[in-house]
Structure 1
Amino acid sequence: MKRFIAAVMLLFGMANVFAVETPTDYVLGPGDVIRVSVFQNPDLTTEARVSESGSISFPLLGSVAVGGKTQAGAEGAIAKALRDGGFVLKPQVTLLLTQIRGSQVAVLGQFNRPGRYPLETANLRLSDMMATAGGIAQTGGDTVVVSGVRDGKQFKKEVDVTGMLRKGDASLDIPLQGGDTIFVDRSPVFYIYGEVQRPGSFRLERDMSVMQALASGGGMTLRGTLRGLEVHRRDPNGKVQVIKPTLADVLQPDDIVLVKESLF
């Protein structure tokens, strides 16, 4: 049985070839590497890289345009050219995509290794690309914005990384396509000043309370008091509001926590 399978693979020119798993609507682009076989014509078996102009060099035919076509479309184009040229009467063409290079994703913002990365496989997902880029930097936020084109329309989705990874929500781990952009903004911060051990700016964690903010600042000094605690916050119009918070109140981005000095 094993010998039979090996013989079939050799017949189709498929031995020792590992095809990339791709959706049927994947469009070939420059840099993609494909392997083309023609049934009962082993001399026509060709492995080629799609050029910048979208073409490959194929025996008997010379340059054949496959860029911008799906796998089935490229098979049909090669078969038609072989038939029209009188080279093969009824060509049965099989095309395998062995390496994807033409499709790239731009990874921008607060990643450890931002840049442009190729889609090595057509079913690459967001978490895979985040890992390729070294993960989100310490200065990055918890939300990833993925933008691109789907079905000819502009596409944009905000992904909660905490929900995707820590909670295991696989529905957020969306598949990527060539031309997508992944962006992570800086993490929101808050500021704490006055009678605290370590005044300054700190990363604002999700649902962070005033008490947790005080802990981030190392706690109050001996002169500090909770009675004069204030939070300065800008409203949508840019006007600063002074809030007298409780320790359980949740902070917002760019809040300023002020710990005053005790008068006694």
Structure 2
Amino acid sequence: MSSKDHREPTLLKAPVTASLRLPGFGPGRKSFQIASALMMAGTMLAGCSSLPQNAPTSRNIVKASQSPANTLNYKIVELDAALASTPPQRNELGLVKMASFANIPAPNRSDMVLPGDILLVSVYEVGVSLFGGPAPTSAATPTAPGLPPSAAAHNIPVTVREDGNISLPYIGTLKANGFYPEELAEQIGTRLAPYSQSPQVQVAISQSVGNAAYVNGAVAKSGRYPLTSAHERLLDVIALAGGSAIDVNDAELHFTRRGESATLRLADLRAEDRANIQVLPGDRIEIRKQRKSITVFGATDRVSEIGFEAPNLSLAEALARSTGPADSRANARGVYLFRLERDSSGDVLQPVIYHIDMMNPQTYFLTQMFQMQDKDVILYSNSSSNLTQKFVGMLNMLFSPALGIRYATQ
């Protein structure tokens, strides 16, 4: 502020003596003390930055953006119709990274035998049986399709060991890992042929440990979920787990496959997206709570953090929820939105400050169109006239309301 706006220069030029007179004050030591206090207050007002503020003025913000100290290279952009109508990047938090997992080839089938699986080996024999004596002669015992009624069935449960092998009577050790059930059945039948009359073998996976995905976190039912020939995708497996146990707008999906991971908001993932990838054995899915919110600072009645509470939040809704600029302190022409603009892969491109003039009627249409993004910051700038009001308030506290009024009106 310039010195011509205040009365301090007259006081500074006056002789500092015991007979110093001020308007409304008599001579004496008390008047000298008051004059000295006024000169100190004037010095404070001359350096307006010494007065307490809860936000910069519009002039401060513009000046800082043009300063060499702007190492982030942020820029101030006027909010217009073109910007307001541009939809935000939906892939900002990992959709592209998630979609990249689709490049990993998925098996054509989901019933490959893996270590830890529990198999049911059914052996059908005609005549003298290796596993149970003479075969029955009636059709009371169910047989496999295509086998004579006299074929006896013997069911042998077996677990695939960590080394990928299984052990069966008369056969010994046999590799099972990496084979499909019918391939393994053919091998077992070939190995049994020298010892049994026309052995026929069927293999079924009764419980799969390896061919499963794991879901935990904020879901209705955490656990291990076997994958089937339906080739379940991300949203399918989450649905099997009962869905998100929290508001989907606050849910974050963290996905891990073979040491690589990706994170995105669950509300951003749609069934038709390429990021809704097929789930493979060993994949891990975690649902975390990550509140989507904006923050409000500056000359407002309440500094706050505001949750979205819906998939989308417009700038108009955000301004209303924040109670708007404070009439006594804020500059309604100087409302600013701070944003880290990102590209489709989520990398920061440019820090941007959007300028909003709330005294322009057109702005209220634009704010309805402009969509907020997670972690946006709204700043209500201070009015420059607020500094003078603070100085008058300081005089009132130091001396009397009458002096403050006299200073403000002279």
TM-score bracket, normalised by the shorter chain, equals 0.5 to 0.7
Is this contact kept in 2: 1:38–1:91, CA < 8 A?
yes
Aligned to 1:46: 156
Structure 2 CA distance for partners of 1:215 and 1:28, relative to 1, 3 Å: farther
Q: Is 1:199 the counterpart of 2:307 in the alignment? A: no
Q: How much has 1:46 moved relative to structure 2?
A: 0.4
Is this contact kept in 2: 1:196–1:214, CA < 8 A?
no
| Alignment: residue pair count | 231
Q: Percent same amino acid at aligned positions? A: 20
1:27-66 pair list within 5 angstroms:
27-40=112-125, 42=152, 44-66=154-176
Structure 2 CA distance for partners of 1:216 and 1:76, relative to 1, 3 Å: farther
Q: SS state of the match for residue 334, structure 2?
A: coil
Letter in 2 for 1:78: I
Which whole-Å CA distance do the structure 1 matches of 2:293 and 2:263 have between them?
23
Q: How much has 1:133 moved relative to structure 2?
A: 8.1
Which whole-Å CA distance do the structure 2 matches of 1:234 and 1:142 have between them?
21
In the alignment, structure 1 segments of 5+ residues that lack a partner are 1-22
Cα deviation, 1:212-253, whole Å, max 9, x if unaligned, reads 222443555454564321112345677643221342222234
Which whole-Å CA distance do the structure 1 matches of 2:155 and 2:268 have between them?
48
Structure 2 CA distance for partners of 1:139 and 1:127, relative to 1, 3 Å: closer
Q: How much has 1:193 moved relative to structure 2?
A: 1.0
Q: 2:199 aligns with which of 75, 80, 91?
A: 91
| Higher share in strand | 1
Which whole-Å CA distance do the structure 2 matches of 1:157 and 1:210 have between them?
26
Q: Is 1:260 the counterpart of 2:371 in the alignment? A: no
Which whole-Å CA distance do the structure 1 matches of 2:352 and 2:269 have between them?
32
Which whole-Å CA distance do the structure 2 matches of 1:105 and 1:74 have between them?
24
In the alignment, structure 2 segments of 5+ residues that lack a partner are 1-107, 130-151, 343-347, 357-362, 387-410
Mean alpha-carbon deviation: is it higher for 180-189 or for 36-45?
180-189
Q: Which has the larger Rg? A: 2
Aligned to 2:353: 242
Q: 1:180 aligns with which of 262, 280, 283?
A: 283
Aligned to 1:16: none
Q: TM-score, normalised by structure 1?
A: 0.65
Greater relative contact order (Cα < 8 A, sep 6+): 2
Cα deviation, 1:2-38, whole Å, max 9, x if unaligned, reads xxxxxxxxxxxxxxxxxxxxx8552111221221111
Aligned to 1:231: 337
Aligned to 2:6: none
Q: How much has 1:194 moved relative to structure 2?
A: 1.9
Structure 2 CA distance for partners of 1:173 and 1:99, relative to 1, 3 Å: farther
Q: Alpha carbon RMSD of aligned pairs, Å? A: 4.2
Is this contact kept in 1: 2:341–2:349, CA < 8 A?
yes
Q: SS state of the match for residue 227, structure 1?
A: strand
